[in-house]
Structure 1
């Protein structure tokens, strides 16, 4: 049997360095919130495949649904021979999404693909080219979504030039010394200096910035954006790729506000580990593209659609929206207690709705400490806990365990996290 180090050597020889690995842990099997590597070591998973596994690894209901679909057919291409699971899933999402009026949904494969097509639809509907997003936001690695992403390293370095007509506004947060008023003033300045609002198709925002550091968008900002969009005929596009499907203690994070978007993008935990993404929007907007203008060979795979229908059942039956709030309350209380200790590395900024929780690793001066963050992740991994970092300074640790995790495993994982902070 190969070791992790042997596999890493093979990986370095065969796979480009441009695709990073958070940990040199090669998976052999996984179940719910646990993962075992090829050396037989067991880990508690607080990463969830980057928020893909809200219903856990290999949920029995999801696996059964996929097996049943495999026994029927695995692929026809929806544009060639459509199938009922695609339609049923679209109907369910149309009913669940906080979209005002009749809605329609189209499926793709990745989150970036969903964002790219959301912009295509917005441009088709408005006849305008401009797109405004936020600094620190993450929307994907395709050329368009890379341009929309508000973070240069590591996503944009060496890949210029970026597509035109993409503009960024500062995201309000105290660590950036940016207020909501500052963000909205900058947006108005953008309209005067770079692009008139009549040429803007969409303003796109994550209700909680993911890669940016799990920073919730203030209600005041969302209200201001909705007002500006309504005033100028701009579409408000909400990126729910990481925040969707019960993670934040609501089905969708935007439901923590009273704001209703024109278009939403979803992916990650939609299909319980199978590749599937979607764009949900007002019906008249979604119908703007001409027949054949949208789609993809693997878009809306029948296996993934079957999985997603099972995921929606699991979220409802196991009350995972409510479970996210229970998990989040427990995590925040534990982190607050750790932050008061004087024998662990300093942490601050405990934040996030539901079970989408993060905190900052800082120096004694309060400055970001990305170097120690890396050490904490490595120490936790050695102790049997998979963690991920994020944030524009690389010093935020995000907690994304499956919402199906048991209380015992949650406590065990938090014990390892606390011990890792003490070791640091």
Structure 2
């Protein structure tokens, strides 16, 4: 989860939600995100809420699963007391940080807590992120035995000098090995890639794509590098030590990714995500994009239930103190107004391949569709069928499309 937290109202110490959060709950799915904030090293481009061993101020990784389990159990109580109807969890996602720095038994215990406390749907998707150098074959077998269905490896690049700039520590040749181990364990595989790293050429990016495709993963994500304020990379760019990412080159890289992945049989289903077929789309991410409910466990984790959004205290020490003391770890929250929820709905659904129904757009948005078609940003055939779906050009300019759909008359 991103390191910066919004400015909003304080969260109540008991964590209880307003009555409005229960409205329509049975029409929404429930997911759980578990944030594991530990990393061996801090990558220069990353602004997520992560900590190396020297930054933990006496907090032990060995205690983390106990603390997360406490929050999981308390989450069910809070939802119940707040009048939120009971629902089994559809997806569980462990992110970070590097969740697989914890023993597999810890991930299994936290997963079991979700299962025992909430229940899991029959086809629940359970995923963990992992670095290629943070797991071995036995670890992945343990994950599968604990009920995990997917693993998402942070490959990022297959080119050593690009990995060095990103300060990633794994050997690119290890990717093939961990994918093979995951397959043997019975896990679906996703690979995460980053493009536009300073010094990365189009040929470098082609090499990474071809290496990723050669592993035949079920799912791939490709994200353009964004330079976040306050990161080591941002400081390096300010000092002139490395070049700022070239937006035109990043656009070329995105087009190359779409071409190579499409030729290999992958279909885009969200601007930055491709799957071998619809059954391998990330259901957890789709829950975010569809505006469903999710509870975020862990330091800095964000949650959303029925238009109420909140986030936990960031540092693991503060988080541990609160959950051990029976106090909600939430640091702040906001109740989203109708206008904000509509803006987010349009923003998120527009980025998905299935698009957004024209009939659900505001009047000005419906009027904008014709111009978006003329500018080749929206698919004309889909629009005639009643859906705003982005073209390849539209995906490159998705934010501009959203602004036009939301523009006032």
TM-score (norm 2): 0.30
Q: Which has the higher contact order (CA 8 A, sep 6+)?
A: 1
